[in-house]
Amino acid sequence: MHVAIIGGGPGGLYTAALLKRLDPRRRITVWERNPADVTFGFGVVLSDETLGGIEHADPVVFEALERHFVRWDDIDIVHRGTRHTSGGHRFAALGRRRLLEILHDRCRALGVELRFGTEAPPPDRLAGTHDLVVAADGVHSATRESYAEAFGPRLTGHRCRYIWLAADFALDAFRFEIAETEHGVMQLHGYPYAADASTVIVEMREEVWRAAGFDAPDERDSVARCAKIFADTLGGRPLQSNKSAWTTFRTVVNDRWSHGNVVLLGDAAHTAHFSIGSGTKLAVEDALALAACLEEQPALPEALAAYEAERRPVVASTQRAARASLEWFEDLSRYLDLPPRRFAFNLLTRSRRVTHENLRLRDARFTESVEREFGCPPGTPPMFTPLRLRGLTLRNRVIVSPMDMYSATDGVPGDFHLVHLGARALGGAGLVMTEMVCVSAEGRITPGCAGLYTGRQGEAWRRITDFVHAQAPGTAIGVQLGHSGRKGSTRLMWEGIDEPLPDGNWPLVAASPLPYKPGSQIPRALSRAQLTDIREQFAAAAGRAARAGFDLLELHCAHGYLLSGFLSPLTNHRTDAYGGSPEKRLRFPLEVFDAVRAVWPQERPMTVRISATDWAEGGTSGDEAVAIARAFAAHGADAVDVSTGQVVADERPEYGRSYQTPYADRVRNEAGVPVIAVGAISSWDDVNSLILAGRADLCALARPHLYDPHWTLHAAAEQGYEGPGAVWPTPYRAGSRRPVTGRADGPRPRLTLRGGPQDV
């Protein structure tokens, strides 16, 4: 096999060394346009996981790296003159130049041809003369651009400027320092990479960068000013540049990583923000996977397909974490007023890779100090601290999220609802929510949806609330009121979600006469008189909900249903007083809220569920979501339930673990209103992390409670918590400990005998 590698960075060099080591017959040539002794940047951080892969694949490279590593455990966070230190993080770093020298030596020893200061021939020419072309030519990859139609690259710019510098001494920890200047917030990321050197990255929002005058093309002045701003961290020492320039980070994503015999690797294929230190790590891991797949697969097409299949999910997960971290630093100013230890905890958990439990294992003392600042009683996880909303005190921060069951008859909840909601109330959550309960027969989504538009329905709900209050004391039960709007008159979910009924349809109404999707029924635009009628329907349903004994009421203004349809510019095309500007689109939902609040008992709280993004171009923006939350809070909402999407059928959500929580985070910390986070929150560790970091006040979980009705009680048992935030029902107390299972482990060997001649 004749292999061409374009780019002499760590990814390209390590690929060359691995391929040559695995098969010395391979002819491998590396083209690097820069001289051998030229590189950009300073230090490189590698994880224990990556180092383990290197050690297994090439002990020679690992041993050379090991001799030059600087290792440390601590992260320092300096904010408003106070330093908080968290330990147990285990970092290993070395100079980028040293890393390249080690890889140069290894490649030469193995017989790889290195061509420095030489532009690679065009990729199409290399593809014709080589069996494999590895494009490791970085974020500005010319190879990727040459085959743009095949690779489908998508490059996203971001809102911060940063500059890569160095200091001539070793920091004693990974250091984050926040500087609040007259021009805005600036931050330093620093870490040691040698006994006498540290990497220092200075970063700030674009508008801060311009206001501070850093856009002037004077590198020496920029470096000197950065050293002055962060003089405390640097001890008054200067900073050094290596052809450093202010730049913006670009996220690179490709639809495909290979085309014919050309394959992308490292930053050419994908990038991850430097704040989680994963660029070199990902490139090295790409090299390991590519080399392994070439060994394991019978032919090149299968090998390249296997390489992409193996690496793409790992890279996608890392990029999600990197984006969360990147956006945290872009929006740093929203967290500045958090209590100091919670600010530090928020920073440490920004990517959602580090969690409350993970951090507790690394540094219990630091984590306990954050919990004390938050107000956790001794031995109480954050999720089991109480929260008061008006006259209602929730004993913990867990909500059973509203979940449509499509099991009512003529809008009347039956035995199924009693068992379903009753079982989850017995499971320990602080608040159990009904499904969306419709305010009229015409406002149902399906014929199986529950309602509160008749006295009989109210009586049936009273049976359920009485059960919860009597058999699960301490658990609150809330009702979610809504109207389907243009998404009504459809089949039961398992018969065809959002598909119109085959017969027996009822007429639909909405803000504007727009069908939900092709083939959906076209709704009528609501007249002023009809708006008044629907507002009164909501108020009447709220009155029945109060008499039925619900503790909390949530107004459903999300997911493309009627009130959500007024809020989104994609579904509200009205030209009257209820359409146009965000303020006008808010008018009818606020009128309904006011009407409901007027009849809902003052001591009982009200929440509002919103879709903070439509996941579609031209939809609700982040700024509008914050404004919507502020408006409802000003009218008396006690918390905002921050969901996303389901407003238009052609949405493109970015799914992932707790993928909606950044929207709740923004609403909470910009609008200053308590929020409920929802969406792919699946573990008690996630709940603890979100609550303690100040990203949410309550967490609503749906599917986990379908999988395990006693999810909250089991979360308490798994954390060894037995306090008032999670009380087992008396008949169930015998099950409050995990059942004993049979031993699967044998006796542990006590002696290890070394073999000798007598054993032969």
> Would you name the residues annotated as active-site residues?
561
DSSP 263-301: EE-GGGT----GGGT-HHHHHHHHHHHHHHHHHHSSSHH
Q: Is 526 helix (H, G, I), strand (E, B) or coil?
A: coil
User: Which helix H or strand E contains 478, and what residues bound it?
Assistant: strand 476-482
Q: Which residues pair with 188 in a beta bridge?
A: 177, 202
Indicate the pairing of strand 27-32 with strand 398-400: unpaired
CA 397, 400, 401, 402: dihedral to nearest 10 degrees? -140
Beta strands, E only, 316-430:
387-389, 392-394, 398-400
Q: Which residues pair with 114 in a beta bridge?
A: 30
- Burial status of residue 105 (CB atoms within 10 A of its CB: 0-12, 13-18, 19 or more): middle
- Amino acid in the structure at residue 112: V
Give the chain's count of helices (H) and strands (E): 26, 28
Residues 6+ apart with CB under 8 A from 703: 682
Q: Give me the residue label for tokens 């290993």.
A: 92
Report how far residue 8's alpha carbon sits from residue 631's, in angstroms, rounded to the nearest whole number. Answer: 55
User: Which helix H or strand E contains 234, and what residues bound it?
Assistant: helix 231-234
Task: Output the CA torsion sign for 314, 315, 316, 319.
Answer: positive
- Amino acid in the structure at residue 664: A
Q: Is 224 helix (H, G, I), strand (E, B) or coil?
A: helix
- 79 DSSP assignment: E
Q: Which residues pair with 160 in a beta bridge?
A: 205
Q: Is 205 helix (H, G, I), strand (E, B) or coil?
A: strand
Task: Output the CA torsion sign for 275, 332, 653, 687.
Answer: positive
